[in-house]
Amino acid sequence: MKRKIYSKLLEWKNNTKNIKPLMVLGVRQAGKTYIIEEFCKNEYKNYMYVNLLENDTVKNLYDLDLDSNEKYLRLKAILKFDLDKEDSILFIDEIQESEKLISELKYFCEKHNNVRIVCAGSLLGVKLKRLKSSFPVGKVKLLKLYPMDFEEFLMSMGEDYLIECIKDCYNNNKSMTESIHNKALSLYRTYLITGGMPESIQNMVDIKGDYINYDTTIVNDILESYFNDMNKYVTNDVEALRIKRLYNSLPSQLSNVSKKFQYSNISKDARARDYATSLDWLEASNMVIKCKCVKNPEIPLEGFVDDDTFKLYLSDIGVLNNIIKIRVEDILTDNISLYKGIMIENYVANQLLCNGFDLYYWKNDATAEIDFLIYTKDGIVPVEVKAGDNTQSKSLNVYNNSYEPKYSIRISTKDFGYNEKTRIKSIPLYAVFMIK
């Protein structure tokens, strides 16, 4: 499967002036191991793969009381692989199993900066936040891999021509032909079923889009694996229970009137102080996405965040739909009722995150609320999300009259367009991946 992160991996390879070990972070089963292995095999003559869950010898080496140079020499002997040889790369998977090796990445950067090392691991973000050893700040290049976005889904389905049509219409504010527009909406709804997990998308590719034969257990198994992994990295059973309770409350959190996260929705006696660690764990694991509320949409947005008000979205729309147990047929026929808006917001949040945006939303002291604010070269742009083709929005009018942004974005099932009078750019739900 093609992944857009491949170009960033190539940038890292081609940077010969400031070579650092590379660490790829991301939610479990988003495809880290697959794409890194593809990169290593395609781009380097000499490649070695080490999985620390399967290789205790390497892990034990870095627990020994030896200096860094001695460990380095022994590592090459254990692997029978010359890391210093030109056009060579070492991929260390499940690196979270060795804190000492993570700390040693500083040594690789400072003393052997000709060596190419790339690392990944399950729940690595959680491990990094709980390191007892020092993290090599500034000595490691960090990249994030998210579940596949809708463009990557289209690539997998062999829809390269459709991608080009979407890009052309987006860049030139021109309408699609009706048949192509409807086809894109149909594929978008198929993506709502699969979500962005590579295994789930591959299943849809294998059955050639025949959703009746789609294996709905794939995402469920992925979700189960999250919690199986969790037990390795929590401090006690109480913490594990709180993490599960918080996570399982998210669909109802998004459906409440205010949409903001409320600890009381977990249980009547839940308090922020009791669940702060649980929330931190879920964020670090990339299982949830925090969208922060700002009352004053000024640059920088982070400086105007209300720390006590935020929304939480799930990392993948397919996972959300699995949790709320919506039938495949109801998604395809758009028979989703109340949860329709919630699903679409979560989908848009996933796509914006893939494009590198930090997530914020705006809410005034009354009832006006803008779903997302994005910071671009054009300043702060309000983004309104509509699940259907009814695009009336009092909130967007309130925001535009108050702050006069250069333009606004409205996402819906409607075709592309731009209204010069209102300065609103209309973007179909299938083209969110184009917002850069």
Assign residue 72 the CATH number of its domain: 3.40.50.300
In a domain, 176, yes or no: no
d(C-alpha 292, C-alpha 305), whole Å: 6
In this predicted structure, what is the pLDDT of residue 187? 96
Per-residue model confidence (pLDDT) at position 252: 86
Range of the domain at 281: 217-434
For 169, residues 6+ apart whose C-beta sits below 8 A from its C-beta are 175, 176, 416, 431
pTM of the model: 0.94
Q: Would residue 239 count as lying in a domain?
A: yes
Residue 200 confidence (pLDDT) above 80: yes
Average pLDDT over residues 204-221: 92
pLDDT for residue 387 = 84
Residue 367 pLDDT:
85
Local confidence band at 388 (pLDDT 50, 70, 90 cut-offs):
confident
* 129 plus 237 within the same structural domain: no
pLDDT > 90? residue 130: no
Give me the pLDDT at residue 227, please: 85
Query: Which of 176-180, 261-265, 324-328: highest mean pLDDT?
Result: 176-180
Residues 234 and 139 in one domain: no
Residue 86 falls inside a structural domain: yes
Q: Are residues 272 and 139 in the same domain?
A: no
Q: How many domains does the chain have?
A: 2
- For the residues 371-386, what does the mean pLDDT come to? 96
Report the pLDDT value the prediction gives residue 341, as an integer from 0 to 100.
Answer: 86
Q: Is residue 156 part of a domain?
A: no
What is residue 168's predicted lDDT score, i.e. its pLDDT? 97
Cα separation of the two ends of the chain: 22
Tell me: pLDDT of 105 over 80.
yes
Q: Which of 122, 144, 166 is the last residue of a domain?
A: 144
pLDDT at position 75 over 90: yes
